[in-house]
Amino acid sequence: MTHQASLPDHDGQRRSSTAVPPAPALEVRSLHITFRERRSEVHVLDGLSLQVQPGEFVSLIGPSGSGKSTLFHIIGGLTAPDAGSVLMDGQDVTGEKGRIAYMPQQPALFPWRTVEDNVLLPEELRGASKTAARENARSWMERAGLAGFEKAYPHTLSGGMQQRAAFLRALMSPQEVMCLDEPFSALDALTRSDMQRWLLDIWEDTRRSVLMITHHIEEALLLSDSIYILSARPGTILKRVEVPFPRPRREDILNDPSFISLKTEISAIMREEQHKH
């Protein structure tokens, strides 16, 4: 959607001008990659393209083995594509590391560091004042329900608390784009539901640009502004779904007929794709 802005003309009158929309926070253009072994080739991505606008929460769902994790490795600069490019704020960053904040499936907290020291690690690495970093970390930990656990070590926390700490560490990274790789997949159903509500509250305050991998359609609809449905391998985008529900969102939306209808539509697309292979 474009916005009209009025600018003074040479004669002093106001004229209308169309404002240039900002570049996507993240843009993936026509990625292709094939992994080659001695006697075989595995075609993983086939012209995959997607965008994450500034402040947008985007989910990517698709079958297992469809190249979702490979996509994250390419975005993070860990794997080079055969063709295609990765752009951030309109700048080509293909192959560059350190451009995203990343949260893997497992919390991956350093066991020898306290929870607080894990959370403030990104600010420590970029040379921020230790006092300011610690104050910031403690403020976020209090909001995340981790107050009182600052000096605890990761192994003493529940799975949900470890995931909160891992998310806060990603949140405190200076990068604008956050990539979340099935962050709640290892949690039980009740803890997962709690984490979804918590993430909604935190994200709605910060509005970071997020790309999240999930297999959970309901989770994607609850959290996201838009959803990309990925095909089976070789991965390409089958459809982009705009999520129409206003924010802030709460769990009671799960029972809304329009929510159920959209969930059914996405399920049908994914089932049809599975039956092709």
Residue 66 shares a structural domain with residue 200: yes
The candidate with the shortest Cα–Cα distance to 70, out of 236, 247, 256, is: 236
Residue 143 shares a structural domain with residue 53: no
Instruction: Please indicate, yes or no, if residue 5 is contained in any of the structural domains.
Output: no
Tell me the torsion sign for CA atoms 240, 246, 250, 253.
Answer: negative
The pLDDT of residue 179 is: 93
Instruction: Please indicate, yes or no, if residue 6 is contained in any of the structural domains.
Output: no
Q: What percent of the chain has pLDDT over 70?
A: 93
Mean pLDDT for the stretch of residues 194-212 = 88
Cβ–Cβ < 8 Å for 276, 234: no
Please say if the pLDDT value at position 13 is more than 80.
no
Maximum mean pLDDT: which of 90-94, 104-108, 195-199: 90-94
The pLDDT of residue 7 is: 41
Residue 78 structural domain: 22-99+176-277
Residue 134 shares a structural domain with residue 191: no
Residue 152 shares a structural domain with residue 185: no
Please say if the pLDDT value at position 15 is more than 70.
no
The candidate with the shortest Cα–Cα distance to 168, out of 51, 57, 160, 25, is: 160
CA-to-CA distance for 64 and 80, rounded, in angstroms? 21
Residue 90 shares a structural domain with residue 114: no
Instruction: Please indicate, yes or no, if residue 28 is contained in any of the structural domains.
Output: yes
Cβ–Cβ < 8 Å for 117, 134: no
The candidate with the shortest Cα–Cα distance to 249, out of 195, 196, 189, 192, is: 196
Instruction: Please indicate, yes or no, if residue 1 is contained in any of the structural domains.
Output: no
The pLDDT of residue 182 is: 87
Instruction: Please indicate, yes or no, if residue 220 is contained in any of the structural domains.
Output: yes
The pLDDT of residue 18 is: 62
One-letter identity of residue 38: R
The candidate with the shortest Cα–Cα distance to 100, out of 78, 82, 127, is: 78
The candidate with the shortest Cα–Cα distance to 66, out of 45, 36, 41, 50, is: 45
Residue 211 shares a structural domain with residue 140: no
Mean pLDDT for the stretch of residues 198-224 = 90
Q: The domain that contains 48 carries what CATH number?
A: 3.40.50.300
Number of domains in the chain: 2
Using pLDDT thresholds of 50, 70 and 90, give the confidence band for residue 5: very low
Q: Could you say which of 174, 191, 210 is where a domain stops? A: 174
Please say if the pLDDT value at position 21 is more than 80.
no
Q: Could you say which of 128, 145, 174 is where a domain stops? A: 174
Using pLDDT thresholds of 50, 70 and 90, give the confidence band for residue 277: low
Please say if the pLDDT value at position 1 is more than 60.
no
CA-to-CA distance for 176 and 170, rounded, in angstroms? 10
CA-to-CA distance for 180 and 71, rounded, in angstroms? 12
The pLDDT of residue 221 is: 95
User: What is the chain's Cα-based Rg?
Assistant: 21
The pLDDT of residue 104 is: 80
Residue 163 shares a structural domain with residue 121: yes
Tens digits of residue pLDDT in 230-246: 998 898 999 999 999 99
**242-253 core/surface letters (b: 16 or more CB in 10 A; e: else):** ebeeeeebeeee
Residue 128 shares a structural domain with residue 191: no
Instruction: Please indicate, yes or no, if residue 277 is contained in any of the structural domains.
Output: yes
Average pLDDT, the chain: 86
The pLDDT of residue 194 is: 84
